[in-house]
Structure 1
């Protein structure tokens, strides 16, 4: 928050200097065509200064953004790597225990012991 306030202050100072240059150009006692030329030049200088400052701030912002996004990129790659390992462990466990479980299931299903239900009454 403080850096935003500081950035705004710097931008305001740059605009103030630009306004001073424009006012100085207006005050000059040069001929009307020279005065217009100087005024135009002062405006161009002011715009160039403002644009340079804006580019500098954007560059700083992109650097900070890249630093934050870079760390997030590392986290996502770590999470993805862990997920792959867990999936691999589950698949190996499945392959390892598949035969055993099939045998148990078939044993339970195929070994039928016929019994009369306890609630069945012979009349």
Structure 2
């Protein structure tokens, strides 16, 4: 009887370890997806910023007045 109880305890412990590993694997997957999304977002922001900065259009400001 004692060996059955010990076997059950070992199975329960193994199940707990298995569940913990599943949670850890899921958390790592989520973190990887979030990091990938941040990298993609950063690249888009940098592309937009560079396009805005490099888009030079010589224009006279609307408030500029020629005195004369």
Task: Give the TM interval when normalised to the shorter protein.
Answer: 0.5 to 0.7
Q: Cα distance 1:49–1:105, how it changes in 2: closer, same or farther (>3 A)? A: farther
Corresponding residue for 2:59? 104
Q: In the TM superposition, what are the counterparts of 1:8-19 in structure 2 within 5 Å? A: none
Corresponding residue for 1:115? none
Q: Which is richer in helix?
A: 1
Q: In the TM superposition, what are the counterparts of 1:1-123 in structure 2 within 5 Å? A: 21=1, 42=2, 46=5, 48-97=6-55, 99-100=56-57, 103-104=58-59, 106=61, 108-111=62-65
The CA distance in 1 between the partners of 2:65 and 2:43, in whole Å, is 39
The CA distance in 2 between the partners of 1:105 and 1:66, in whole Å, is 59
What TM-score do the two structures reach when normalised by structure 1? 0.43
Mark the runs of 5 or more structure 1 residues left unpaired by the alignment.
Answer: 1-20, 22-41, 113-123
Q: How far 1:91 sits from its partner (Å)?
A: 1.6
What TM-score do the two structures reach when normalised by structure 2? 0.67
In the alignment of these two chains, the number of paired residues is 66
Please list every run of at least 4 consecutive aligned residues from structure 1 whose deviation after the TM superposition is greater than 2 angstroms. Answer: 48-51, 66-71
Q: Which has the larger radius of gyration?
A: 1
